[in-house]
């Protein structure tokens, strides 16, 4: 391909001006899903407006976009046609959001040096993250789903926040969650519904939202996913962060309950309270803080704050959840399954088992 044409194609994927995505075919499996996805991610072979031409003329941006496109296309080789289509559409939305996030509001205006540097940094970071777009764990293929958008901060909003010219160029939203590709059972479909995340704010609310996730365990009987949440309102004194878990029993497609893990009446609640209180007191000894037992009890008895791992139960303590000020941040306490053996339900889904 002629270099000028290649740069123009790269520019269009960045600018999203005057062209639409070339969809991945749905009616037949592609002969080369990686190549076809790469083509779909690079949908325009014509020049664009002034912004697109400026990107075409920037070798660094064109090269970075090509690296990102290749990395995402490689991930697409492990998912279904529907998964590839979702990957293409998500990437198109992401690129459009980055244009706004970098302050490039007028598509006919050539980007400034600062805006080009912003795009360069975001493309580089996105390429590093591309390898996690698809994960093979526990017999499942998980695809990262994303809700990504951005809206420019107006001069009026910046003034009302008290930030004025220090306000960011845009309010951004980046919400991520896993999805089992080609969910072949009702239970897998139910998992997808339970872990799907949605925005809690409108962009007009001037609140940035981020949700990231990590799959702590995946197996035939259970999947455990940790979500970390971040929100920051324009002009707020500090952002708010939190954490929670979604645990799904895959034999039923239902959320994990306390009864799935522990025997009723076994006293597991008191054990977890005592164990967590001691661990948190040690963790925050230098701050002179000892968590109130009532706050610890309220947290450790909530299954949506339990992360299930191969080794044991991880108790999540988001900020404020253990009676401390926000400055203490969050915490977690890991309890091995062996230490919980006398409390466990003998019919608990794996990996909730005491070692033999």
By the 10 Å C-beta count (0-12 exposed, 13-18 middle, 19+ buried), 20 is classed as: exposed
At residue 157, φ and ψ (nearest 5 deg) are -65, -40
Q: Is the pLDDT of residue 208 over 90?
A: yes
Region 210-238: mean pLDDT is: 97
DSSP calls for 81-130: HHHHHHHHHHHHHHHHHHHHHTT---TTSPP-HHHHHHHHHHHHHHHHHG
Per DSSP bridges, beta strands 207-218 and 170-180 are: parallel
Q: What percent of the chain has pLDDT over 70?
A: 86
Tokens 């600018």 sit at which residue? 15
- pLDDT recorded at residue 278: 97
At residue 175, φ and ψ (nearest 5 deg) are -115, 125
CATH fold label, 133-255: Heat Shock Protein 90 (3.30.565)
Q: What percent of the chain has pLDDT over 90?
A: 71
Distance CA 162, CA 167 (A): 8
3-state helix, strand, coil in the chain (%, to 5): 45, 25, 35
Q: Is the pLDDT of residue 6 over 80?
A: no
Domain ranges in the chain with CATH number 3.30.565.40: 133-255
Looking at every residue in the chain, the average pLDDT score rounds to 87
What is the C-alpha radius of gyration for the chain, rounded to an integer number of angstroms?
Answer: 24
C-alpha atoms less than 13 angstroms from C-alpha of 41 in its C-beta half-sphere: 26
Burial track 301-335 (b if 16+ CB lie within 10 A, e otherwise): eebebbbbeeebbbbbbbbebbbbeeebebbbbeb
| Helix H or strand E encompassing 276 | helix 268-283
- pLDDT recorded at residue 23: 45
Region 70-83: mean pLDDT is: 93
- pLDDT grade, residue 69 (50/70/90)? confident
∠ Cα 144 353 222 (to 5°): 25
- pLDDT recorded at residue 54: 64
Task: Give the bridge partners for 66, in sequence order.
Answer: none
Sheet containing 306-308: order of strands:
306-308, 312-317, 331-336
- pLDDT grade, residue 218 (50/70/90)? very high
Region 208-235: mean pLDDT is: 97
Domain ranges in the chain with CATH number 3.90.640: 258-343
Candidates 3.90.640, 1.10.1760, 3.40.50, 3.40.1350; CATH matching 258-343: 3.90.640
Distance CA 180, CA 276 (A): 33
Q: Model's pTM, two decimal places?
A: 0.87
């Amino acid at each position: 391909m002629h270099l000028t044409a290649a740069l123009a194609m790269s520019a269009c994927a960045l600018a999203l001006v005057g062209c639409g995505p070339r969809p991945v075919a749905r009616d037949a499996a592609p002969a080369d899903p990686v190549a076809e996805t790469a083509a779909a991610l690079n949908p325009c072979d014509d020049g664009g407006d002034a912004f697109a031409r400026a990107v075409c003329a920037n070798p660094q941006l064109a090269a970075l976009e090509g690296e990102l496109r290749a990395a995402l296309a490689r991930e697409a080789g492990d998912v279904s046609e529907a998964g590839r289509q979702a990957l293409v559409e998500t990437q198109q939305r992401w690129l459009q959001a980055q244009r706004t996030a970098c302050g490039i509001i007028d598509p006919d205006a050539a980007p400034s040096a600062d805006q080009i540097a912003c795009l360069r940094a975001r493309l580089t970071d996105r390429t590093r993250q591309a390898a996690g777009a698809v994960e093979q764990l526990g017999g499942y293929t998980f695809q990262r789903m994303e809700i990504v958008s951005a809206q420019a901060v107006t001069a009026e909003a910046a003034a009302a926040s008290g930030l004025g010219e220090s306000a960011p160029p845009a309010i951004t939203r980046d919400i991520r969650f896993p999805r089992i590709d080609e969910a072949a059972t009702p239970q897998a479909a139910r998992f997808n519904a339970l872990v799907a995340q949605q925005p809690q704010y409108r962009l007009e609310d001037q609140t940035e939202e981020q949700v990231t996730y990590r799959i702590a365990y995946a197996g035939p009987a259970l999947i455990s996913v940790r979500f970390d949440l971040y929100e920051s309102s324009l002009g707020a004194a500090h952002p708010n962060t939190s954490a929670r878990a979604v645990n799904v029993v895959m034999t039923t497609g239902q959320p994990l309950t306390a009864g799935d893990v522990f025997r009723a009446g076994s006293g597991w609640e008191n054990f977890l309270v005592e164990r967590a209180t001691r661990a948190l007191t040690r963790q925050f000894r230098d701050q002179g803080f000892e968590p109130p037992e009532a706050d610890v009890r309220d947290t450790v008895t909530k299954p949506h704050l339990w992360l299930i791992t191969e080794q044991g139960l991880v108790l999540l303590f988001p900020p404020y959840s253990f009676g401390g000020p926000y400055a203490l941040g969050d915490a977690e306490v890991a309890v091995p399954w062996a230490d919980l053996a006398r409390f466990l339900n003998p019919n608990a889904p794996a990996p909730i088992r005491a070692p033999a």
